[in-house]
A and B are shown apart, each in its own frame.
Chain A
Amino acid sequence: DAKTTQPPSMDCAEGRAANLPCNHSTISGNEYVYWYRQIHSQGPQYIIHGLKNNETNEMASLIITEDRKSSTLILPHATLRDTAVYYCIVRVGAGNNRKLIWGLGTSLAVNP
């Protein structure tokens, strides 16, 4: 029961910004949004997470709308190594019952 929806695939030119959208219209006030990526046959890699405010780290930026119903992950200068499946995930529950709900993700292809 994924709580997020993402486009199944996207393309991006190398060196350009990649903007990956995610809808999470049923998110509740205390649920965080996480972004991970998975390169083929490897374990997912944490990218960034946020609750209300926009966030930035060395890998990406996360823009969350004011109503928190959607967000966008921005890779500012995509490289070929950024080709991967990107998952937008909501963390639900509290205390010891906290868990991540995974959807199908967006397969990003960065083209030379």
Chain B
Amino acid sequence: SQKIEQNSEALNIQEGKTATLTCNYTNYSPAYLQWYRQDPGRGPVFLLLIRENEKEKRKERLKVTFDTTLKQSLFHITASQPADSATYLCALPQGNLIFGKGTKLSVKP
């Protein structure tokens, strides 16, 4: 079965820098991949979906890439702000969605 690896449990960066989070999967390339944001004590909130035939997707300061050769998606936040501090989850379909364990991003002022 498919496994998702978000290989950084935590990422600390300085305000204004670009945060890059990684999501790797182990088996077949999924038809799409989703990214969610989760704040402490709250449910995840959907951010972006990228399909396998899309190399890149953007939404405001967010950019997601999908490399089926590397079996990897990268999630970038440019000009990061303290308000971007949260846990970011990637998810891909296996029947339903399966979720990675997340990367906790901390943006320091």
* Chain A partners chain B: no
